[in-house]
Structure 1
Amino acid sequence: MRQNKIKVLGITGGIGTGKSTVLDYIGKMYHARVIQADQAAHLLMEPGQVCYYKIVESFGSGILRGDQKIDREKMAAVVFSDKEKLKRLNQIVHPAVKEYIIAEIKRERGNGTVPFIVLEAALLIEDHYESICDEFWYVYADEDVRRQRLMQYRGYTAEKVKQVMKNQLRENVFRQHCQFVIDNSSNIVENTYEQIDRGLIEHEFL
């Protein structure tokens, strides 16, 4: 355990498990700093930011909107069916996101005004964020619950849900790498909150 430093809690889990519910609660209830890798990536792809010109140079101006911002839907269409292009995009974005997150953690530790930091990243395990985080927590939900949420709240088709889930880590891999599991399958959100409260106390984040 790192001494005299604000701890970093890594949150991960498959799509539709309800990670945003967990992050919202921890941020509001405990006043923790919440950092989301996806939001950092969006910021770094804005005009003038570190990833913008590299992406435009790699994929052409056809991915830009009228206001010269990157159209993420157009970009997704370009890389979705081409593994090499997706790999190239990831090689641009992922290291930049990690650098941004490390800098934000350093800044928060310098300020010393938050009790702890929560980092959410879909690729927390694959991108080896264990060097940054004190612990990984896995947000779990039953597959049927996830499927229902994605179709109801995101408008995914059954086929799209199947495709997205197929490309994600298996449950046993998440459990193997994480020190605590939050079961967010229940419709009663207080059940999830109770698990978070207990975990933060037992794992000494408070």
Structure 2
Amino acid sequence: MYLGLTGNIASGKSTAAMFFEKHGCYCIDTDEISRIVMRPGEAAYEGVVQAFGNDVVSEDGTLDRAKIRGIVFNDPEKRKVLEGIVQPAILKYESKAVGAIKGKDDKAVIITQAALTVESGSYKRFDGLIVVYTDPQVQLERVVKRDRISEEDARKIIDAQMPIEEKLKYANFIINNSGDHDRLEREVRRVIELIKLFGKCKKMSSKK
């Protein structure tokens, strides 16, 4: 079973992924993969430098990801350029990771965590999609606390994303992460049981 895991900023995707791993799933983090493929000598590095110039290269030769984020945040065209360079490299790396997991465990539940799964259309490659969400006020408070920014700046970041109500329409499984970690873990365990049923139904339908 190969699933996607997504949600908006401060929804708790990474914490949910941690609990999925704790309970026997294999989790792949595309944000971590993006760091890998953007390292000097890796697949996306030269393309990013050519597209954005030496200004995004730090003194140690690594890419300044914060500076790149600042460039693309308010410029959809430049964001598309960045995605066109980085996404193919991420997908290739991810595909190898998935193949390696399936090679050692053919019954594995593999979950790929990514922020833009719905927006990019990449949700279509999964057997199902898990969407994590949180109440708007809780989300706002988490962004302010985590990033140490004003409520006004936090609202701008939140408003720049696809509305969670729209994203939830694509979900096969929904996790409410408006509470504490214990509640989130219970939600993850609940979804794991649903995933097992989902997998059985897919196998039965494929035999018809």
TM-score between the two structures when normalised by the length of structure 2: 0.87
Q: Is 1:15 aligned to 2:9, yes or no? A: yes
Shift of 1:109: 0.9
**Secondary structure of 2:23's aligned partner:** helix
Relative to its length, the structure with more helix (as a share) is 2
- CA pair 199-76 structure 1, distance change in 2 beyond 3 A: closer
Q: CA RMSD in A?
A: 1.9
Which aligned pairs between 1:26-105 and structure 2 lie closer than 5 A?
26-30=20-24, 32-105=25-98
TM-score, with structure 1 as normaliser = 0.88
Give me the whole-angstrom Cα distance separating, in 1, the residues matched to 2:73 and 2:33. 21
In the TM superposition, what are the counterparts of 1:1-206 in structure 2 within 5 Å? 7-30=1-24, 32-112=25-105, 115-187=108-180, 189-204=181-196
Residue segments in structure 1 that go unaligned for 5+ positions in a row: 1-6
**Runs of 4+ off more than 6 Å:** none
Conservation of the 8 A alpha-carbon contact between 1:51 and 1:96: yes
Classify 1:203/1:29 alpha carbon distance in 2 versus 1 (closer, same or farther; 3 Å). Answer: closer
Structure 2 unaligned residues grouped into runs of 5+: 201-208
Cα pair 1:41 1:93 within 8 Å, conserved:
yes
Q: What SS is found at the alignment partner of 2:77? A: helix
Deviations 1:140-167 (A, max 9, x none): 1000001111111221221221111111
Q: Which moved more, 1:77-86 or 1:169-178?
A: 77-86
* Deviation (angstroms), 1:18: 1.2
In 1: Cα distance, 2:79 partner to 2:66 partner: 14
Quote the Cα distance in structure 1 between the aligned partners of 2:128 and 2:175: 13
Residue type of the alignment partner of 1:60:
G
Paired residue total: 198
Q: Is the 8 A contact 2:4 2:126 kept in 1?
A: yes
Q: Look up the SS of the partner of 2:169 in the other structure.
A: helix
Task: Give the partner amino acid of 2:19.
Answer: Y
Residue 9 of structure 1 contacts residue 135 of structure 1 at CA under 8 Å; is this kept in 2? yes
Q: Partners in 2 of 1:133 and 1:22 — Cα distance?
A: 18
Structure 1 counterpart of 2:173, one-letter code: F
Whether the aligned pair in 2 keeps the contact of 1:45 and 1:52 (CA below 8 Å) is yes
Asked whether the equivalents of residues 102 and 108 of structure 2 are also in contact (C-alpha less than 8 Å), the reply is no
